[in-house]
Amino acid sequence: MENKKSGLSAIFARISGWITRKTGSPAAFIIALALVILWAALGPVFHYSDTWQLVINTSTTIITFLMVFIIQQSQNRDTAAIHLKLNELIASEAKASNRLIDIEDLSEEELMVLKKFYVRLSAKAKKENDLHSSHSLDEADENSTEKRNKRRG
């Protein structure tokens, strides 16, 4: 069952990737615009009937419904790739806090705690007016103390 599921996932990923690339192209936009213009031009021929209106409404509803899933799959894949790249950058930088790896899995409350940390760090950096401020509050406190001591002594 697992191989079948991963096989279907791989096929869906390939198809949705192809569809995403094609529908995001200028040619796809021009074709869609041409179809809308054709539909509008045919209005007088069909006397602006309910069927004429139903054609565009049904077509756009079906396309929108299907595209939601295609776009979401593409977005999920891109988001996962970006998170992995950022995790690699964090893990490879000696001064970066490894606590930030996989923070997308934290709860809303945990994210707010981290946000408060970075707001405090930002305020401290503004106060110091230093582009090369440290990456942790502890270091920021130490650097601030050292700077004050150097100014006094």
In a domain, 100, yes or no: no
Same domain, 28 and 80: yes
Question: Across 53-62, 80-89, 92-101, which has the greatest mean pLDDT?
Answer: 53-62
* This prediction's pTM: 0.61
Residues 64-89 pLDDT 10s: 999 999 999 999 999 999 999 999 99
Number of H helices, E strands in the chain: 5, 0
CA distances from 101 to 5, 31, 33, 89 (A): 29, 43, 44, 9
Same domain assignment for residues 13 and 36: yes
d(C-alpha 26, C-alpha 37), whole Å: 16
Domain boundary among 92, 114, 132: 92
The answer to whether residue 101 sits within a structural domain is no
Q: Are residues 67 and 124 in the same domain?
A: no
Residue after which a domain boundary falls, among 70, 92, 114: 92
pLDDT in tens, 108-131: 999 999 899 888 888 877 777 766
Where in the sequence is the domain holding 137, given as residue range(s)? 106-152
76 and 21 both lie in a single domain: yes
User: How many structural domains comprise the chain?
Assistant: 2
Are 87 and 48 within one domain?
yes
- Please tell me the least confidently modeled range out of 56-60, 66-70, 149-153: 149-153
Measured at the CA of 60, the angle between CA 56 and CA 65, to 5 degrees, comes to 155
Predicted pLDDT at 120: 86
Does 111 lie in the same domain as 73? Answer: no
Residues 82 and 123 in one domain: no
Residue 16 lies in a domain: yes
Q: CA 118: distance to chain centroid?
A: 21
Q: Is residue 97 part of a domain?
A: no
